[in-house]
Amino acid sequence: MRNFFWICLLLLIPGLLARVAIGGSGILATDILVPVFAALWVGKKILFNEKFPRCDFITAGFAFIFVAIVTWFIGAWELDITAKILSFSYIVRILTMLIVGWAASEYFGEETAKTTDKKLQSSKELFFKRFFLISGVVILLGFIQFVFIPDISTYSTEGGWDPHTGRLLGTWLDPNYLAGFLGFLLPVIAGAWYRKRNFWLLLLGGAALIALFLTFSRSGYLAAIIGLGFFFLFRDWKIILLAAFIAFLGLAASERAQQRVEELTGTMASIVLQDTAEIDPTAKLRIQNWIKSFDLWKKYPVTGIGYNTYRWRAAEEGVVDENYFSAGGADGTHLTVLVTTGIAGSLAYIWFLITLFGKPFQRWWKTKNELHLGFSMGVLSLVVHSLFVNSLLFPLIFLPVIVIAGVLQPTHK
């Protein structure tokens, strides 16, 4: 089962290349293997009457899944059978990934009567070595794509992707999603480096920073600044000055990065002033999507339009074109959850996020274990990123997040 667990995580490497398009949506390799793993793990627990491990986030996660099922049942009632199946499959996706994280808490976070502190620490170290290796391969493939295939517009018309040019996106085929992952990864690497300082972690952190820079993702820049900024504010505030100097050098060396930062500040100012006349077309479309999505939520404030029925229900309202890959949700995870599950689902979702962020932060405050701080700030980075991109529940991001949350569970005899 542990080997199967690692096969699931290895699917981060092929990313969205391992995807089959279906009705504007698509099935990833994780959508097949993760449910099989989850079913086997739960089945083994029940069949052999084994005790389920204690896990901080599982109750809040199941609460959100319950509300999602209720809202789906209400909202998908009039959809055709294909839309019903596709929309419900996303609930299965999140549920089974939660179970993988639950399993990780048993494999790497749970202490038994036969487990010594040395063995437990060794198990956690093995996990992070392998996870960082997988992340390094994802980043390396991104560099290879950036150098040899900087223009994916030839392929984007067939796959439904935006025609990004001259940006690092690797096998994930979208620089914004990859930037969100890197924004989460960087504080985790920083936390691991403070626990065990070695050259390879430093090299991985540097590669992740360069890769993030080359995504030219405004939301990724902002998310990483928030995540790393608060990490070093709590751990070593002097590093912030060095980071600011490095960021200044990076901006000075790249006109495109300067343009993206200027567009970000312009977009944020336009949001505050509620004026879209002076911003770039991409940001203008995003703000228009926010407005239309919020108006849609106001029609169904309590239970929303139904979890993951956005592609079809929003298309009925003229908000999106259901044939586009990006039509699966609003421009931002938090807004998507609000529109599709209403106030009820948003409250469960907030509870889940507070658990993911707050519990590790509390443990860092008590133990000063920087891995907990790094993960907590990584989650904060994703919370910021998900204001602009539908990234937090994106499977290639959510899977490593929930798995690390399981690995960092406290031990109990």
Q: Above 70 in pLDDT, residue 3?
A: yes
Query: Residue 42: is its pLDDT beyond 90?
Result: yes
> What does the pLDDT read at residue 224?
95
Q: Which long-range contacts (CB under 8 A, 24 or more apart) does 3-11 make?
A: 4/33, 4/36, 4/37, 4/40, 5/37, 5/100, 5/103, 5/104, 5/107, 6/130, 7/33, 8/33, 8/34, 8/37, 8/100, 8/399, 9/130, 9/131, 9/134, 9/399, 9/400, 9/403, 10/134, 11/396
- Which pLDDT score, from 0 to 100, does residue 160 have? 54
407/281: higher pLDDT? 407
Q: What is the pLDDT of residues 348-377, one digit of tens each?
A: 999 999 999 999 999 999 999 999 999 999
Whether residue 159 is predicted with pLDDT greater than 80 in this model: the reply is no
Per-residue pLDDT at 393 exceeds 80? yes
The pLDDT of residue 266: 63
Q: What is the pLDDT of residue 239?
A: 78
Query: pLDDT band at residue 121, thresholds of 50, 70 and 90?
Result: low
Whole-number pLDDT of residue 192: 96
Whether 115 shows a pLDDT value over 90: the answer reads no
Phi, psi dihedral angles at 150 (to 5 degrees): -70, -20
Q: Which of 15-24, 35-44, 93-102, 105-114 shows the lowest mean pLDDT across its residues?
A: 105-114
Over pLDDT 90: what percentage of the chain?
Answer: 67
For 53, 222, 293, the CA distances from 333, given in Å and listed in that order, are: 29, 16, 12
Q: Which of 37 and 165 is assigned the larger pLDDT? A: 37
Distance CA(77)–CA(71), nearest Å, equals 10
> What is the pLDDT confidence band of residue 32, given thresholds at 50, 70 and 90?
very high
Between 116 and 167, where is the model more confident?
A: 167
DSSP string computed for 105-121? IIIII---TT--HHHHH
Residue 21 per-residue DSSP state = E
In this predicted structure, the answer to whether residue 156 has a pLDDT above a threshold of 90 is: no
- N-term to C-term CA, the chain: 23
Rounded average pLDDT over 402-412: 86
pLDDT at 105 over 90: yes
Indicate the pLDDT class of residue 112, thresholds 50, 70 and 90: very low
The answer on pLDDT for 210 being more than 90 is yes
Mean pLDDT of 185-207: 95
pLDDT tens for each residue of 327-348:
678 889 999 999 999 999 999 9
Q: What is the pLDDT of residue 164?
A: 78
Which of the four pLDDT bands, split at 50, 70 and 90, describes residue 257?
low
Does residue 413 register a pLDDT over 50?
A: no
DSSP secondary structure of 363-404: HHHHH--HHHHHHHHHHHHHHHHTTTSS-TT-HHHHHHHHHH
* pTM metric for this prediction: 0.90
